[in-house]
Chain A
Amino acid sequence: MVQNGPESRKRPFSLWSAFSSIRLTLFLLILIAITSIFGTLIPQQESAMRVAENLSPTLVRLLDSLNLFDMYHSWWFRLIIGALAVNLIVCSLDRFPSSLKRFRSSPKTDREKPFENLPPERSFALKQAFEPVSDAVGDLLRSKFRKVERKDKEKAAFFFVEKGRFTHFGVYLVHFSVLLILLGGIAGSLFGFQAFVNIPEGEGVDKVTLRKSRVAKPLPFSVRCDKFTVEFYPNGTPKEYRSDLVFLSNGNVVFEGPLRVNHPITFQGITFYQSTYGTLPGNRVRLSLKREGAGGNTVVEAQVNTPFPLPGQEGEATVTAVRSDFMRLGPAVQLAIKPDKGDEVQMWVFKNHRMVEERFPGIFETFPKLNPASFKPYTFFLESMESRYYTGLQVSRDPGVPLVWAGFVSIIIGLFITFFLSHRMIWVQVSRRDKGVNVAFAGMSSKNEVGLEREMDRLMVQVKNKLDKS
């Protein structure tokens, strides 16, 4: 334990004294700093899965048992932060009474002690009458400080001014703010949620997927994305992502507006953020049909799940599925052909037919389901397929945010008070001498002695100037 310092010596070891130790604070601050490094080197959460595949199972098991793939949410990391919070509370409570005492202290106006061992440059003699000098000093102090205390004694007039009494509490404001931010974080994780949802253009959703558990969470309303737009600069970098959203409650449109990056929309306490986007195959495909014996190809604009007749009247065909990337071989559609005579035939038609054949020679002969010529006498070609956007939204509710924001504001105020302001007390003594008067300045400051000396220098110059004029 701490050896030096009177407060630690008078108490035996106890939990309280352990947690009121600033050594513990230093230890915990450094411990959090060092352990945090692991999480920046080891991929966390989702990205951990991909990396874990390349590591040895023993290592993965070891890292996983220490929760190192999600360390910032692990019990042990929370325990350290919790210990720091307790340490911070205990330290603050432990030291608060002495700060309160200093805040409440009322130094005597006619204190002599500050004037003991006064350096010679802190006083000057004048050949002027006592009354006007002491009144001038009083007036000047009144113009600089809110409250000036004066006490007249037989031989001298004493003045006392001060400022920044409240600065004794600056450090508690900082500590309180840290707790407020932590509290906001806890409130957010207990009562809030983080989710995402992908909405294809023109469609609506009434539930979102929670990020952590991947569980669907129903919304008390539904959201529709009428249109998604992505704009690019001439050099190809994205300029803006925009989703035109419509919020519906019981089927009625309640609110609509564009959602852009950095401009979230909050509806009924749930906030939507533009997060990502992508493309989905659309509902229209363009096929071309080659019928053996016939000259030229027939082009068909087909709608998904809507049958169309084959040009030779052998039956009808339906596009039953579209994939923007089928078997990692690019776009493809599934065709189901119902001939008038015989069984239904199903096949996949690739857009990159030639590329597939070059990469896997003989694939179409081996797998009739992949062969666009498996329904004689036709060969099907996929010319193009319509695609549409889907917008990816981050959806969250975080009731802790106001606490966190309040903590942000107060920590800045607290740090400013703690570092740049101090409790300054200045005593001025105007004493009668045989011929004239002597004016002396003494001061005390809770910190930043240099600043106090500067302030007293300025004050002395101002007093001298004032007296010279009169």
Chain B
Amino acid sequence: MLNSIILSYITFVYFFSFFFYLLMMVMHREIFGRAATVITLVGFAGHTFAIVLRWIESYQMGIGRAPLSNLYESLIFFAWTLILLYLIVEWRTKNRSIGAFIAPLAFLAMAYASYSPGISSGIQPLIPALKSNWLIAHVITCFFGYAAFALAFGLSIMFLLKRLDRPEKKNLFLRIIPETWLLDELSYQMVVIGFLFLTLGILTGSVWAHSAWGAYWQWDPKETWSLITWLVYAALLHSRMVRGWKGKKLAALSIIGFFCVLFTYLGVNYLPGLHSYAQS
């Protein structure tokens, strides 16, 4: 189908934007950075177009549903929200070095969706449990949360790298990374956004589970892992807001939190549970 062909090309567009962001950092040339931004914008436009096209194609097939209901579509949507949030951050901070850490994540998500043999890109009709408006609210909120946490993760990695920078080192790559206080602040803001969306995602999922299965919380592995993720980020927020933790400790917590996100999203599929339709 056309949409998945376009999306498989977008994978490489994001690879090129990663390449150019990297080139900018290594060569210290602004022109590469601008090229990277343009490539990312083009990729994002094509990405958006393909998602809309997929929606239209599902109607042409007589299925007619939002493209948000299986692993393929969720990975595509995750990459989309990640690039969207990143572009906003780039625009607000006027710093492109973050792109070198975020574009590869979007590339990996797209490549996994498009080229993993286990993931079908076909548009399948919805099984009865998924036929609910809560599905859309649940998926959108969860993935905005995941994308914000992914950005916080990238920023935390940058924070840890930047700490290695010394004035006498003259390392161009590290030089271009923003100051640690800015990374710390940005990463915290991303965690805040992610936490609000994750909370919304868990709550909408819970309301949906109540109408589909008759219980708002059943300790299914995916539910439990989303709670684990929520608790880790809650700990991070408390340690910062009340204890005033900053810097390395917070960056470490944010990295642990993102691994919980990854496990909630992908790892749980290897455990038995109710969310089995998110596997293929």
Interfacial residues, chain A to chain B (CB-CB below 8 A) = 22-23, 25-26, 29-30, 32-33, 36-37, 39-41, 43-44, 47, 72, 185, 194, 233, 235, 237-241, 260-264, 271, 273-275, 394-396, 398, 401, 404-405, 408, 411-412, 415-416, 419
CA distance A454 to B218 in the complex (A): 45
Contact A29 B217 (CB under 8 A): no
Residues of A within 8 A of B196 (CB): 412, 415-416, 419
Given A262-B131, A275-B213, CB of A36 within 8 Å of CB of B227: yes
Return chain A residues, CB-CB under 8 Å to B101: none
Complex contacts, B203 vs chain A, CB 8 Å: 408, 411-412
Q: Are B232 and A33 in contact (CB under 8 A)?
A: yes
Q: For A263, what are the chain B residues with a Cβ–Cβ distance below 8 Å?
A: 211
* CB-defined contacts of B210 to chain A, threshold 8 Å: 401
A-contacting residues, B167-221, CB 8 Å: 192, 195-196, 199-200, 203, 206-208, 210-217, 219, 221
Q: A194-B214, A241-B128, A262-B211 given as contacts; is B199 within 8 A of A411 (CB)?
A: yes
Tell which of B79-87, B157-165, B234-242 binds the partner: B234-242
B215 near A194 with CB under 8 A, answer yes
Partner of A238, one of B127, B207, B221, B238: B127
Q: How far is the CA of A396 from the CA of B67 in the complex (A)?
A: 32
Give the top 8 A-B pairs by smallest Cβ distance, nearest first. Answer: A261-B128, A273-B214, A394-B214, A40-B221, A33-B231, A29-B235, A33-B228, A408-B203
B residues in contact with A404, CB < 8 Å: 206, 216
| Cβ–Cβ < 8 Å partners of A408 in chain B | 203, 206-207
In the assembled complex, B132 has its CB within 8 A of some CB on chain A: yes
B125 contacts partner chain A, Cβ-Cβ < 8 Å: yes
Q: A240-B128, A415-B196, A416-B196 are in contact. Are A262 and B212 (CB under 8 A)?
A: yes
Task: Show 12 A/B contacts (Cβ-Cβ < 8 Å), sorted by A.
Answer: A36-B227, A36-B228, A36-B231, A44-B219, A240-B131, A261-B212, A262-B132, A263-B211, A273-B214, A275-B214, A394-B214, A395-B214
CB-CB < 8 A to A22: which residues of B?
Answer: 238-239, 242-243
Indicate whether B117 reaches chain A with its CB closer than 8 angstroms.
Answer: no
Say whether, besides A40-B268, A235-B124, A275-B214, A29 and B199 are in contact (CB < 8 Å).
no
Nearest-neighbor residue (CB-CB) of A450 within chain B: B185
Q: How far does the alpha carbon of A44 sit from the alpha carbon of B273 in the complex, in Å?
A: 11
Determine the chain A residues whose CB is within 8 A of the CB of B214 once the complex forms.
Answer: 194, 264, 271, 273, 275, 394-396
Instruction: Closest B residue to A31 by CB, please name it.
Output: B231
User: Which B residues lie within 8 Å of A398 (CB)?
Assistant: 215
Q: Which residues of A contact B213 (CB under 8 A)?
A: 273, 275, 394
Q: How far is the CA of A238 from the CA of B127 in the complex (A)?
A: 6
Residues of B within 8 A of A274 (CB): 128
How many whole Å from A243's CB to the nearest CB in chain B?
12
- Residues of B close to A405: CB separation below 8 A: 207
Complex CA–CA separation, A271 to B211 (angstroms): 10
Are A40 and B225 in touch, CB under 8 angstroms?
yes
Q: B228 touches which one: A37, A44, A412 (CB < 8 A)? A: A37
- B229: nearest residue on chain A (CB-CB)? A33
A262 touches B207 (CB 8 A): no
By the criterion CB–CB under 8 Å, are B239 and A41 in contact? no
B residues near A72, Cβ cutoff 8 Å: 219, 224
